[in-house]
Every structure is written in C-alpha cells, then in structure tokens.
C-alpha cells in the first residue's frame, strides 16, 4: 500500500440506466441488502449529477475519465454524444464525406477508446499496475478478458475469478489495483419493459446478489479489508407520455436524410426526447452558419428554402432549443437558448456566455425579460443570475435539485466539441421519437436524455474497506468518481480531470 493510500484495490461497478431515487428506495425496502450495507458503512450520495445529454455516451465515458466533452484537440473528451458526425476544426478539405458515428452499431463500439481522444485519460491510464476491464468498453490502459457468456452473472464471476487466480491474468500474479465492470443489461430491460417492470427490478436485485457473492470472495481471498467497492450508474430514466413517428414530418418538409456513403442529403438527426440536428454548411465537413440555417435550400427536386429554426419548432412537443454562435472559440463564446411558450405563442430568449476550458471553465447565464429555465423563481439560484461568470461547482450546488440540472455548465462543453450538432432541440419528456438517421427504430416510451432530475441524478455508493470513511454526500458529480477512487489509492488524477475527490 502506498504512503498516502487507504486501500490497495478499487472495484468500480457501473450498472447502466438506474435512477438514484429508485435504487435507494429499493434499498430502504430491503431488496438490495448488500448495497445497503456498503452504503451504510461508507460514502453514499442520492444526488449524484451525471453529464448532459443524459445518454450512455457521453455519461459512461465521462465517468471513466473524470472529464467532459470539450474541444478535444486541446482539452476534454472527443465523445459529445451517442451519435455524431465526424467534423473537425479546421474542417477537412476532401471529397470523401464525414462518417456518422453510431455506438449502437457493433463496429463502432470499440472505437470509443480512440474517439475520446488523447486530451483525457481513462482511470487506467492515470495509474501504474495491474488493471482490469470486464465488459467495460472504455478499457484503454487495461486488459479486457471476455466472459464465456454475455450474462450479468458472468461479469461478476469474471471479477471474482481474477481475485481468486490473478496468476491466470497477470504475469506478476498480483490482483488488479483497478477493476471496472460494466452492466449494460439493465439499460436494455429499461427501454424494452420500463423501470417499473418486475423483471427490470429483479435484474437490479440480481446485481445486488452478485455483489454479495463478490464481497464473499474478497473476504475469502483476504482482499476485502484493503479493497474499496464503488457502485454507480451512467444516467437515470423517465417515461414519455406519447410516441410520435418523425419520418413523415421530414418527408413533408422536403428534408432528405444524409447518407455518408454518397455525401448526399440535407440533415442527420437522432431524437429521443432530445434531438441532435446536423446540417451541411458549404460541405458536410463544415458546420453551417446561423444565416445558412435561416435560409437553407433542400436538395430535392425544386428544392424549397427553409428557415430550419422555424421548421424544427413544428415538431410536436418541442419546448427548448440550443445552438452556438458562429464565432465561438474553445476558450470563449456564446450559446443561444430558446424556450417556446405554446399557450402564448412566443419565444423566450436567453444566452450562455463561457470562458476558459476544462476545470477552469466559467459560465454566465443571461436572459431578456423571462428566464428560459425558471431559475429566477428559486431564491438560492437567483444569486447566480448576477451577470457574473460561475464555476461548475456553483451550478451543481444550486441546480441539482431543479428540473434543469447543471445545464448552464454542460451546454458549452458539448458545443465546444467539433463533433457536436448544429441545433439541439428538447422536449420536457412528453414525447419519445426513437428517430435515428432517417428511420424510426421503435416505439417505446421509456427513455433517457433530458436535463430533468429523473434522467440526470444517479446513485453513488463507495464502501467495503473500513478505511473508506462514512459520509452522506448531499450532492456530487459522476466526474468526482475517478479522483475519489484515485485518492483512496493514494494517487493524483490527471490534469484533465474536472471532478474533485469526495474524501
């Protein structure tokens, strides 16, 4: 054990798509005894704030790096969202059209390790020693043994196997100092049957059972007292009220989906409850200017000229719109905010100004007559509406309990990324469109992506060894996980890490 270390090993378990309030309620009901015991004797937070958009990517990758999306050639992660078009700064000048990255497609999943870029480091790259990933697709810096079966039990059994027989995995015959296990199965269940279905709940209960088995193995092998166990999730979830097929809508407007093989098309989009819209500028390698989107000529026969901002407001349930200024730089710029009042038929306007990068980013929220996010109705948050720049810590502290969690800090980090979309459109969770790259792919009402608490707040539990202090953390962020686990190991985080240790 290092000089400043509290433990020799840490194990991080990421259970995909679990809302904080659900997990802690099941703990209170006695359904998750092993997690309850870890939480009671260690660190826990019922208000851990994830990244926005609250989708597996960027949320999952940001947990593993402790950083957020950014201008990735210099700072931050290169993964802004689950789907993106490979546009760069400066734009590439070549005939071949940019690819669409879609992490739902198997061929793209393992590209995440390259896509996050070199400006951030995974937790594995921030230490030396034996490092293990089990079905953890962001494994850069670790070994990646594949379980015999793609089952939840197999993932936990593989972790147990490494602690029982480390010589089968590492030449020095020592157990890994960092182990990450990722459980994607819960996300699949949530989308198909919902967070309130007995089978989804039972799957989380089974995870608790397997964690109990892992604890037993750690005790039998003599590693429990010098191992910290961390359990969290990448995002929460919600149930939309309505489903709507967007394919006819775009066809009616004369907008053709982009085909990267031919380079032909007007737009690309993926839209659950939050929509990410890409349009071509002078080519598909270029982002369009605001003026170009206000007067956009479609590619169909007798192509019409459209104001894309007005067109997108016609999508049912559209309440919020965000887009960047044309002249933004990585260290300074502006994001435009719009909220539509359906009953009054007017648009509420606001802006976010940002300066700095990474940990040093500061943001200022401004609005004209009415507050886009309704923060001015909250006395505590009103202190941030002072025409001054504020840190991520300030925004998290005062917005984690609102329905627009940390969005002022997150939108600039997203739009700094050259791979970001051109216009982001959001519902308030009333609709789910399940629209991806020109096709409607399903009709489930269960989803996640918006900035509301039910999608943005995840559980965080760290315990195991008695060296982990007992603490109830009122709020934190998922980017605090990496520096906290490294602190337990007596290690310092990489300079790109935005989060802070909770010790």
**So what's the pLDDT on residue 324?**
99
User: Based on the domain organization, do 173 and 213 belong to the same domain?
Assistant: yes
Q: List the domain range (segments joined by +) for residue 367.
A: 242-447
Task: Write a three-state SS string for 97-109.
Answer: CCCEEECCCHHHH
User: Based on the domain organization, do 214 and 354 belong to the same domain?
Assistant: no
**So what's the pLDDT on residue 301?**
63
Give a yes or no: residue 498 inside a domain: no
Per-residue pLDDT of the chain (503 residues; tens, 9 = 90+): 666 899 999 999 999 999 999 999 999 999 999 999 999 999 999 999 999 999 999 999 999 999 999 999 999 999 999 999 999 999 998 889 999 999 999 999 999 999 999 999 999 999 999 999 999 999 999 999 988 899 999 999 999 999 999 999 999 999 999 999 999 999 999 999 999 999 999 999 999 999 999 999 999 999 999 999 999 999 999 999 999 999 999 999 999 999 999 999 999 999 999 999 999 999 999 999 999 999 999 987 678 999 999 999 999 999 999 999 999 999 999 999 999 987 777 999 999 999 999 999 999 999 988 999 999 989 899 899 999 999 999 999 999 999 999 999 999 999 999 999 999 999 999 999 999 999 999 999 999 999 999 999 999 999 999 999 999 999 999 999 999 999 999 999 999 999 999 99
User: Based on the domain organization, do 297 and 281 belong to the same domain?
Assistant: yes
User: Based on the domain organization, do 475 and 362 belong to the same domain?
Assistant: no
Sign of the CA dihedral 109, 113, 114, 115?
positive
d(CA 58, CA 457): 15
User: Based on the domain organization, do 283 and 342 belong to the same domain?
Assistant: yes
User: Based on the domain organization, do 308 and 456 belong to the same domain?
Assistant: no
User: Based on the domain organization, do 359 and 246 belong to the same domain?
Assistant: yes
Give a yes or no: residue 32 inside a domain: yes
Max Cα–Cα distance, the chain, nearest Å: 74
d(CA 401, CA 67): 22
**So what's the pLDDT on residue 2?**
61
**Strands 131-134 and 178-183, sheet pairing:** parallel
User: Based on the domain organization, do 412 and 276 belong to the same domain?
Assistant: yes
Domain end marker among 426, 447, 468: 447
What phi and psi values does residue 160 have, to the nearest 5 degrees? -60, -40
**So what's the pLDDT on residue 127?**
98
User: Based on the domain organization, do 249 and 327 belong to the same domain?
Assistant: yes
User: Based on the domain organization, do 14 and 136 belong to the same domain?
Assistant: yes
**So what's the pLDDT on residue 165?**
98
User: Based on the domain organization, do 195 and 322 belong to the same domain?
Assistant: no
Domain end marker among 447, 464, 480: 447
Domain end marker among 421, 447, 473: 447
**So what's the pLDDT on residue 230?**
99
**So what's the pLDDT on residue 3?**
63
**So what's the pLDDT on residue 345?**
76
Give a yes or no: residue 85 inside a domain: no
**So what's the pLDDT on residue 43?**
99
Strands (E), 247-401: 267-271, 274-279, 296-297, 305-306, 320-324, 332-341, 346-355, 362-367
What CA dihedral angle connects 103, 104, 108 and 111, to 10 degrees? 40
Q: What CATH number should be reported for the domain holding residue 135?
A: 3.40.720.10
Give a yes or no: residue 95 inside a domain: no
Distance of CA 327 to the CA centre of its chain: 26
User: Based on the domain organization, do 400 and 470 belong to the same domain?
Assistant: no
Into how many domains does the chain fold?
Answer: 2
Give yes or no for a contact between 48 and 20, defined as CB atoms under 8 angstroms apart.
yes
Give a yes or no: residue 283 inside a domain: yes
């Amino acid at each position: 054990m290092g000089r400043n270390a509290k433990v020799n090993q840490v194990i991080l378990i990421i259970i995909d798509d679990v809302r904080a309030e659900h997990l802690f309620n099941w703990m209170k009901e006695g359904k998750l005894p092993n997690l309850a015991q870890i939480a009671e004797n260690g660190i826990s937070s019922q208000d851990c704030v994830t990244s926005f958009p609250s989708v597996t990517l960027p949320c999952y990758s940001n947990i593993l790096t402790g950083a957020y999306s950014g201008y990735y050639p210099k700072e931050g992660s290169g993964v802004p969202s689950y789907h993106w078009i490979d546009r760069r700064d400066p734009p590439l000048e070549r005939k071949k059209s940019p690819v669409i990255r879609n992490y739902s497609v198997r061929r793209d999943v393992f590209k995440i390790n390259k896509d996050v870029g070199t400006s951030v480091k995974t937790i594995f790259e921030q230490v030396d020693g034996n490092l293990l990933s089990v079905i953890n697709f962001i494994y850069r810096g670790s070994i990646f043994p594949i379980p015999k079966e793609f089952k939840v039990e197999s993932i936990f059994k593989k972790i147990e196997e490494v602690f029982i027989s480390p010589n089968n995995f590492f030449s020095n015959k020592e157990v890994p100092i960092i182990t990450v296990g990722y459980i994607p199965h819960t996300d699949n269940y949530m989308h198909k049957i919902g967070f309130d279905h007995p089978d989804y709940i039972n799957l989380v209960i089974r995870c608790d059972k397997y964690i109990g088995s892992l604890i037993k193995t750690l005790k039998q092998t003599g590693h429990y007292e010098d191992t910290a166990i961390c359990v969290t999730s990448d995002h929460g979830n919600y149930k939309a009220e309505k489903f709507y097929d967007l394919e006819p809508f775009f066809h009616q407007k004369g907008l053709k989906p982009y085909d990267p093989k031919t380079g032909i098309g007007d737009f690309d989009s993926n839209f659950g409850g939050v929509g990410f819209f890409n349009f071509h500028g002078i080519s598909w390698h270029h982002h369009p200017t605001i003026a170009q989107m206000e007067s956009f000529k479609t590619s169909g026969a007798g192509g019409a000229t459209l104001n894309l901002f007005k067109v997108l407001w016609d999508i049912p349930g559209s309440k919020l719109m965000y887009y960047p200024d044309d002249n933004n730089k990585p260290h300074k710029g502006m994001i435009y905010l719009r909220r539509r009042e359906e009953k009054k038929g007017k648009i509420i306007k606001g802006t976010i100004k940002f300066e700095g990068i990474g940990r040093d980013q500061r943001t200022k929220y401004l609005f004209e007559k009415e507050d886009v996010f309704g923060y001015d109705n909250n006395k505590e948050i009103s202190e941030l509406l002072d025409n001054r720049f504020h840190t991520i810590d300030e925004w998290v502290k005062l917005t984690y309990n609102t329905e627009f969690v940390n969005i002022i800090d997150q939108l600039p980090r997203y739009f700094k990324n050259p791979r970001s979309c051109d216009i982001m459109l959001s519902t308030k969770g009333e609709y789910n469109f399940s629209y991806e790259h020109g096709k409607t792919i399903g009709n489930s009402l269960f989803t996640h992506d918006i900035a509301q608490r039910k999608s943005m707040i995840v559980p965080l539990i760290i315990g195991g060894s008695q060296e982990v202090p007992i603490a109830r953390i009122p709020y934190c962020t998922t980017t605090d996980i990496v520096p906290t686990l490294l602190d337990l190991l007596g290690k310092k985080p990489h300079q790109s890490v935005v989060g802070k240790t909770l010790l």
